[in-house]
Structure 1
Amino acid sequence: MSCDEKKDNKRDYDGCVCEVIRAVKDIQEHAVDEECPPCTSCFLEPLGELSSKSRRKCADTRVFMLITDDGTPFSAFYRDGDRRDHDCISVYFRVEKIFHGCCATLRVLEPKDKEGKEVDLLSASGTKIKLSQLCKVHDFDSTDSCITVDLKCFCAVQCIKDVFLDVCDCG
């Protein structure tokens, strides 16, 4: 279904991105031990399945990206906790809250490389996301920055990884 098709649909339809983000939120809130399903997708349960073949026992976040109608990753600013640099753009999010059907509050996640250093996702000009930088991202840190979005404005969602960000108690 294209992004424009959902506008012409006569039934009450929020869109597939809304449904996926709702499912991610539900999975984050209701992580339980179950058998490993055979394929990977945003709907994969329980939380921790996207981490690796050996499921992460204490994941509390399903990291995802939103894709705009022109095929580019949606990005948002975040307040950089270390204040030593200015690489404060990310394309990675954690769903915090869903309201009014298809609106969501998303926590912006700081991208980190294998050594735990922040990955600068911006091009040399500092105006666009440099897609090759996304391959350097291996982990994430929680930030204090959140953004409220209308999920109907996006054409795709890609789930990246399940991680522990210490935003809830994993016992």
Structure 2
Amino acid sequence: MNLHSENCICFEMKQLFEEQERLSYKEFRFVCDLLGFDTIPFMISNKNCRFEAFGRNVNGKFFTTPFFRLEKLDANHCCASLSLLEPVDMDGCPLEFFCDEVYSLIKTDNCIIIDLSCFCTIEPLSPKIVDRPLPIIEPKC
């Protein structure tokens, strides 16, 4: 099966997964994995809108997110297992909706399985935003 001709998003997700594996230094034997990034966050959409999913954070509160990490890819069936990334602002507060104030994406244990053939675009983001340490803000008084 030629992934590129059958479904472009499957081909792109395969490329993303390979790059994510290389970034995490999993293929290297003598390099510390703490130096790499293990996630390339991304958003996906169909012709009409950006895809979002619901999850539950470590505090038990529900959240909505358009940000995901590719966990597993079944290229033969064009489906993927994604983990949800929770968006937080600069203070570490969960964001209730997508906005420009996203400071960090927090990994969660929430996973979903999707049919990639339902989507047509992928928007990868910088790996540096995942589990990004919150800034230390000095009191101004």
> 1:77 aligned to 44, 49, 54, which one?
54
2:74 match: 99
8 Å Cα contact 2:24-2:37 kept in structure 1: no
1:114–1:137 contact (8 Å) kept in structure 2: yes
Q: SS where residue 41 of structure 2 aligns? A: strand
CA-CA distance at 1:21 after TM superposition:
1.1
Give the aligned partner of residue 17 of structure 1.
9
1:58–1:150 Cα change, 3 Å: same
Root-mean-square deviation (CA, aligned residues, Å) is 2.1
Residues 37-74 of structure 1: CA distance to partner in whole angstroms, max 9, x if unpaired? Answer: xxxxxxxxxxxxxxxxxxxx53210000001221x210
The size of the alignment, in residue pairs, is 118
Is residue 116 of structure 2 the alignment partner of residue 140 of structure 1? no
Q: RCO (CA 8 Å, sep 6+): is it higher in 1 or 2?
A: 1
Which structure 1 segments of 5+ residues have no match? 1-10, 34-56, 122-132, 166-171
> Contact 2:14–2:75 at 8 Å: present in 1 too?
no
TM-score (norm 2): 0.74
CA gap of 1:18–1:134, structure 2 versus 1, over 3 A, is: farther
- Structure 1 residue ranges (4+ consecutive) displaced by more than 6 angstroms after TM superposition: none
TM-score between both structures, scaled by the size of structure 1: 0.62
Following superposition, the deviation at residue 148 of structure 1 comes to 0.4
Structure 2 residue ranges without an equivalent (≥5): 26-34, 132-141
Identity of aligned residues (%): 30
